[in-house]
């Protein structure tokens, strides 16, 4: 199954793991116009959903254009390995999706991850699965991984789940729904977070044979099977965000990005409209999009609700600060519980570049009102084991001249070829 077989770098051995963690890169900007063609990786969001749907379909053929990210490798390894223990490292999406998948797959597994993963809540998903009859036991702390799952057939039925924590809980339940004997009816309680990811899940399910109805706060999935047709992954719009940032910070960019669709299911495709409001036009061609700057537009304050595309907040925050454009972001609550507390991480690391960001304990907003401080002379950006921190901050070197990134190989979580693509764009990457 699938066409990626290597494991994520934390599983390659302690020597390699510590070498990567101790590594630092000095990133130097090209000092000239950026002209580059980039082959983006397959979408991690789509790849991980398709791998679950594909596994449930029983299709023996591989999924095409799979993401080469750590998350997807971890998911594929867990699906194909016969071992009792499944260690997903830092891969949150993988943990959530596999919890539901193994709940209906005969056999007993231990699903675990990194120390950070053991701090990320999974209680609402486990509670919902238990109501459907799943046999899941917490092995350490209630509400958190690791989990022992004794998979079996489940009858399905009707449940309620709070939808303001993580859309991944809901997607995990939805994808197994056609395989439940009576299907599944989910009532979503409260404000829906990242609804675009739920729609992505449902539309991918529909493409491969599932039947659903979404009315108001209720989603009903009828019992059935997934088809065994061709499974192909679109390129990653999240990965495009770093190149949109560079287009904004450059004078005359000409950046071509492969295999991005204007009518994409990915919520992060909002990038095209967001950056158009900042003077960056996206010219969609047959199998790529070309980014060009048509104007320097500096709105009084840039405001946007990122509820449906939280993964591009880091790119937007760094780019807007570097472009001296004040902003007020909402829809950012889930950033507190991602790979790290991304709001805290942005505040700490942008302070090193001279920017003071404001937020609140809940993370309901993130803003910069041109509050500044003295920047560090040789800033070293900490990544907090978060791939998006490394990739969001690297473009700042284009204006700063150079910037250093700690633990830079964390990018393998979603975009393993990122540093090579930056080199192709004229950046100098030096290990220090």
- The answer to whether residue 268 is catalytic is no
Asked if 6 and 13 count as a contact pair (C-beta separation under 8 A), the reply is no
φ, ψ dihedrals at 213, nearest 5°: -140, 125
Task: State how far the Cα of 22 lies from the Cα of 408, in Å rounded to an integer.
Answer: 9
The rounded Cα 60 to chain-centroid distance in angstroms is 27
Q: For residue 177, count other CB atoms closer than 10 A to its CB.
A: 28
Asked if 368 and 355 count as a contact pair (C-beta separation under 8 A), the reply is yes
Task: State how far the Cα of 122 lies from the Cα of 126, in Å rounded to an integer.
Answer: 6
Query: What's the Cα-to-Cα distance from 113 to each of 71, 98, 182, 339, rounded to whole Å?
Result: 12, 12, 32, 12
The rounded Cα 27 to chain-centroid distance in angstroms is 23
| Distant-in-sequence, close-in-space partners of 368: CB < 8 Å, separation ≥ 6 | 317, 320, 321, 326, 327, 350, 355, 356, 357, 358
Question: How big is the CA angle at 239 (ends 236 and 245), to the nearest 5 degrees?
Answer: 140
DSSP lists the bridge partners of residue 330 as 305, 365
- Beta pairing class for 35-38 and 24-28: unpaired
What is the C-alpha R_g of the chain?
A: 21
Asked if 278 and 316 count as a contact pair (C-beta separation under 8 A), the reply is no
DSSP lists the bridge partners of residue 186 as 159, 219
Q: Catalytic residue, from 68, 311, 386, 421: name it.
A: 311
Instruction: Break the chain down into helix, strand, coil percent, rounded to 5.
Output: 40, 20, 40
Q: What tokens were used for 63?
A: 């999924």
**DSSP-assigned letters across all residues of 195-209:** HHHHHHHHHHHHHTT
Instruction: Pick the closest to residue 245 from 187, 154, 312 (CA basis).
Output: 312
Q: Supply the residues annotated as catalytic.
A: 311
């Amino acid at each position: 199954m699938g066409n990626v077989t290597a494991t994520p770098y934390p599983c390659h051995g302690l020597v390699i793991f510590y070498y990567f963690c101790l590594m630092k890169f000095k990133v130097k900007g090209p000092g000239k116009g950026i002209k580059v063609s980039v082959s983006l990786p397959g979408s991690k969001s789509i790849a991980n959903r398709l791998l679950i749907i594909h596994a449930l379909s029983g299709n023996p053929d591989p999924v095409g254009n799979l993401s080469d990210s750590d998350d997807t490798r971890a998911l594929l390894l867990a699906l194909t390995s016969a071992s009792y223990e499944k260690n997903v490292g830092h891969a949150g999406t993988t943990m959530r999706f596999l919890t539901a998948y193994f709940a209906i797959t005969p056999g007993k597994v231990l699903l675990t991850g990194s120390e950070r993963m053991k701090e990320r809540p999974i209680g609402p998903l486990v509670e919902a699965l238990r109501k459907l009859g799943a046999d899941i036991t917490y092995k350490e702390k209630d509400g958190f991984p690791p989990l022992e799952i004794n998979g079996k057939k489940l009858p399905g039925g009707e449940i309620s789940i709070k939808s303001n924590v993580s859309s991944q809980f809901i997607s995990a339940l939805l994808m197994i729904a056609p395989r439940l004997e009576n299907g599944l009816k989910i009532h979503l309680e409260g404000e829906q977070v990242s609804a675009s990811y739920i729609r992505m899940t449902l539309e991918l399910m529909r493409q491969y044979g599932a039947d659903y109805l979404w009315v108001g706060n209720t989603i009903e999935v009828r019992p059935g099977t997934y088809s065994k047709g061709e499974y192909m992954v679109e390129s990653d719009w999240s990965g495009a965000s770093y190149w949109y940032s560079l287009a904004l910070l450059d004078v005359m960019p000409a950046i071509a990005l492969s295999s991005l669709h204007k009518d994409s299911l990915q919520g992060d495709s909002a990038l095209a409209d967001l950056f158009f409001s900042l003077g960056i036009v996206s010219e969609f061609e047959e199998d790529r999009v070309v980014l060009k700057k048509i104007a320097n537009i500096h709105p009084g304050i840039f405001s946007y609700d990122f509820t449906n595309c939280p993964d591009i907040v880091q790119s937007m925050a760094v780019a807007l600060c570097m472009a001296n454009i004040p902003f007020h972001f909402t829809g950012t609550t889930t950033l507190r519980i991602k790979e790290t507390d991304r709001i805290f991480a942005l505040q700490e690391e942008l302070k090193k570049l001279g920017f003071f960001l404001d937020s609140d304990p809940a993370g309901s907003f993130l803003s910069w009102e041109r509050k500044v401080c003295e920047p560090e002379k040789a800033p070293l950006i900490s990544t907090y084991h978060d791939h998006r921190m490394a990739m969001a901050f690297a473009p700042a070197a284009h204006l700063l001249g150079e910037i250093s990134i700690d633990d830079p190989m964390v990018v393998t979580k979603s975009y393993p070829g990122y540093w090579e693509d930056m080199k192709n764009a004229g950046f100098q990457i030096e290990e220090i």
